[in-house]
Structure 1
Amino acid sequence: MRVLLFTLLLLPSMYLGLKVFYFQDLIDPIKYIYTFTGAVAITLLFVTTTLSLIKSKINLIKYRRQIGLFAFFYALLHMLNFIVFDMELQIVFAIKETLDKPFIYLGMISFLILLFMAITSFKKLYAKYNAYHKAIYVVLLLTTIHFVMAQKALSLSQWFYLALMMLIMTLKLKQRVISKSNML
């Protein structure tokens, strides 16, 4: 099952590679890479948090780390697109752009939190730092704001995507409140 999941989680990167390097039919490949990798990363992040919502029906919790690490992988591709292709490895300019545009520094903050979570997701470190993994909710909030601010105008599908994100966040909050009240 893990090999199948690994393959499925790699499919978006294969599609992206084909679209950008083989078909080469994009007007603005850098923007496409941003949009695609960002959408895949945030979708996988929401999937990781949604797994606990459905565990009473189908328990996929044991795959949460693998999906979360792939979310980090796509966030890393998103970040590398910014630094390598968009900023052309001009680090000083990249820092200036980050500080000048709020949606970029929200994305950077999210990325740094994800980096910490990826590093500490392995057994020995996770045992020590698992409480900090609740920061995933901060990442979800910041990346959702980052996503909205990065768009010039939101399409109908993007509004649907945002509504779905808000629904998942609401259900997770409700789940937390119910689990806390059951503990009392």
Structure 2
Amino acid sequence: MRFAFYFCVAGVLGVSAFLALSSPDPVATIYLYSGFLAWGFCAASVLFAWARRRVWARRVGLAGLFFGFCHFLNFIALDKGFETIEIFSELFRSKFIITGLISFVLLSGAGVLSLKRTQRYTKARRAFVYTAMTLASVHIFLGVKVAGVVEYFCLLVGFTLLFKSQLVSLRKTSEAKFI
């Protein structure tokens, strides 16, 4: 079963690479597909976690982290050419890139906390994922000149996850006060 999942992820990567190479601007297409695939896999991971399918949530979340890494590597390697001065100047000039970088760092932290040795840190991992999804939604929204239905949907999902995590934490603290 694990092989079939990784085969499907490789298939998605292959199809998106084919579409990117056949487009007039491959770098922008790789940005688009890797970003939306990372967001989609992370959102599916949250849905699997809510359905109590923890093994699938972990696998799909790690696939989302992989596509997030591809998105980050596209910015570093293909867009900026590993030039650190240009990377840092672009980083401090744009809120759009800052939100994406913070989201990637939080998602990487959630990936580290999903390892076998750190399985007991579920609250921290959940907080990392919810915050990373919200920042990734803001990153998607700020990345376009004119927002469409997809960008507003991503923003709605991101803020819903953020509010849900805040409600869960408020509910747990209020139960602790009354007990």
- Superposed pair shares fold, TM > 0.5: yes
State whether residues 42 and 133 of structure 2, in contact with CA within 8 Å, keep that contact through their aligned partners in structure 1: yes
What is the Cα deviation at residue 160 of structure 1?
Answer: 4.3
What is the Cα deviation at residue 70 of structure 1?
Answer: 0.7
Pick from 98, 115, 139 the counterpart of residue 108 of structure 2: 115
TM-score (norm 1): 0.81
Amino acid at match of 2:92: L
C-alpha distance in 2 between matches for 1:75 and 1:143: 10
Matched with 1:69 is: 62
| Unaligned stretches of 5+ residues in structure 2 | none
C-alpha distance in 2 between matches for 1:82 and 1:46: 22
Matched, 1:33 2:30: yes
Matched, 1:132 2:129: no
Amino acid at match of 2:8: L
Aligned residues: 175
What is the Cα deviation at residue 114 of structure 1?
Answer: 1.6
Provide the identity percentage. 22
Q: Helix, strand or coil for the counterpart of 2:55?
A: helix
What is the Cα deviation at residue 169 of structure 1?
Answer: 2.7
Deviations 1:109-151 (A, max 9, x none): 1111122222332111333x44321211110111110100001
Matched with 2:86 is: 93
Larger RCO, structure (CA 8 Å, separation 6 or more): 1
Matched with 1:15 is: 15
TM-score (norm 2): 0.83
What is the Cα deviation at residue 77 of structure 1?
Answer: 0.3
Q: CA RMSD in A?
A: 2.6
What is the Cα deviation at residue 50 of structure 1?
Answer: 1.4
What is the Cα deviation at residue 82 of structure 1?
Answer: 0.3
C-alpha distance in 1 between matches for 2:11 and 2:163: 28
CA 1:115–1:63: 2 relative to 1, 3 Å: same
Matched with 1:144 is: 137
Question: Which deviates the most, 28-37 or 76-85?
Answer: 28-37
Deviations 1:70-98 (A, max 9, x none): 11100000001101111011122111101
Deviations 1:142-174 (A, max 9, x none): 1110100001112334444544x2586389459
